[in-house]
Amino acid sequence: MIPGSLLVPGSLMAPGPAWEGFSFARPAGLWALLAPVLLWLVARERSEPPALATGAFALWRELGNRPAVRTKEARRCVPPAVRFAIAALSFGALAAAGPRFSGAPLPRTWVLLVDQSPSTSLALDDGRTRLEQALAGALDWLASRGAPGDRVSWRTPARSELELPWGERPPPDWLAHPRWFAPEPDFALADRSGTAWVTDRMPFAPANAACFASGGARVAGPVASSGLTRIDWDGGRLIEVEDALSSRPVTELPAGAAPRELEELFALWALERGFSLDRATAGAALVFEAAPEGPDGEAQAGRDGWTARGRALAGGLPPEALADPAGERWLEVEGAGGTRETLVFASPGRVRVAWRSFERVAGDPAAFALSWSRLFDRVVLPPPGIVPLAERQDAGQKQFLVPELEDRPSGGRDDSGRIEGGLALAAALCALAAAGSAGPRRA
């Protein structure tokens, strides 16, 4: 055992699960082991048996040839008091070094909170996006702190949570920016040790989490669209560019698949906004999905000043239709048994309805039209390259903030106190025994 060195599992101790987690809190205390070693050497040198002359040497030599006697011949006699003193010093030195055996370290789960808001898609001077640079820093940090067996939870508002083994990356489509304007994560709810924020602008200095903010200068470009008109920002002014956008398709509802009123309203909205109606869904700016096959039931619901009564999918939309984490339950009704049934679910680029037909729509017809068109406006996918003005602003300097990581939790109990106490007690008992056995030996 080398005094002064930190005992890391497996480095100096015999390998194996029995020694995992063992270390000394005060390894410098191991230097005190020199004292009992020196005492032993000195005592051994001085403990030669007393020499006595005898005329009966021949008799002793005869006895010395017996095996039971001969084995004792070579032993030097360190007095019992010295032996106890050596043991006391040894136990005391080990106790002073603070041995601890805290069990095998547990694997931990890291959290990467990824900001996929539009600003992080902007490019930096080196050609990488802001998100790519921040993510690179976070992955380096994770590589230095993690260990095989750890897990990483990937989280972002725009996607479902993904938990992967340490060292693995999500598939490209998970890391890719969504086609809609995804919001920033709620960083305030995720300021914990073992969590890393991956963003372009540090929202605030975290107390416990790590933060990898890429920073970035402001980037001019398209900031909005209206029909076929694109609005650009040159870094200072907003410029309208007419007919800068080509018409994009929106999915046309099959006839009779949804209430007629909604079909007509959706077609009018698409025309007004410059979209073309298409049956295909690929590349559509908005997909209006009718209710899936299933039994119908009476349904009455409304919002924003209108109410509709009619036939809808019994029980509302099924759970698999409500899985998009970026979506919202736009229209719900209380069903049988007090459960909430979703009649309209809206997510970026998609509106799903459980209505099959309206029997009666009550309220202001303008309110009905306005309510649905605002929904369509909100969830329709923006044209490619459009990044809101606020997102194109300067994100400040690159800031990688890495706090001190707390000790990896262990699986076993911390026995340091008991081990130290036991060693100290053993040292005290040996010291008492040394004091008790000191003195002249009685014949």
Contact residues for other proteins, defined by CB under 8 A: 48-64, 66, 68-69, 72-77, 441, 443
Q: Which is nearer to other proteins, 6 or 53 (CB)?
A: 53
The CA distance from 31 to 35, in Å, is 8
Dihedral sign, Cα of residue 169, residue 405, residue 204, residue 327: positive
Contact indicator for 212, 137 with CB cutoff of 8 Å: yes
What does the alpha-carbon distance between residue 331 and residue 302 come to, in Å, rounded to a whole number?
Answer: 7
DSSP class per residue in 202-250: --S--SSSEEEE--B----EEEEEETTEEEEE-SS-EEEETT-S---EE
Chain-centre distance for alpha carbon 418: 34
With contact defined as beta carbons under 8 Å apart, do 422 and 94 qualify? no
Determine the Cα–Cα distance for residues 298 and 314; give it in Å rounded to an integer: 8
Q: Which is nearer to other proteins, 73 or 173 (CB)?
A: 73
Listed residue (379, 391, 392, 393) closest to 180, CA to CA? 379
CB of 434 to other proteins, least distance (A): 18
DSSP states of 94-110 as a string? HHHT-EEE--PBPP-EE
DSSP code at position 348: T
H or E element at residue 265: helix 260-273
Q: Which is nearer to other proteins, 18 or 63 (CB)?
A: 63
Closest among 36, 34, 60, 59 to 49, alpha carbons compared? 60
Question: 88 Cβ partners below 8 Å, 6+ apart?
Answer: 427, 428, 430, 431, 434
* Torsion angles phi and psi, residue 47, rounded to 5: -105, 30
- Which CB sits closer to other proteins, 48 or 406? 48
Phi, psi of 229 (to 5 degrees): -90, 135
Residue type, 218: R
Cα torsion angle, 278, 279, 284, 286, sign:
positive
Beta strands at 99-101 and 22-24: parallel, antiparallel or unpaired = antiparallel
**Residue 70, phi then psi, degrees to nearest 5:** -60, -35
112: tokens are 């990467």
CB nearer to other proteins: give 148 or 440: 440
User: How far from the centroid of its chain's Cα atoms is residue 298's Cα?
Assistant: 45
What is the rounded distance in angstroms from the CA atom of residue 370 to the CA atom of residue 373?
A: 5
And the tokens for 22?
């063992």
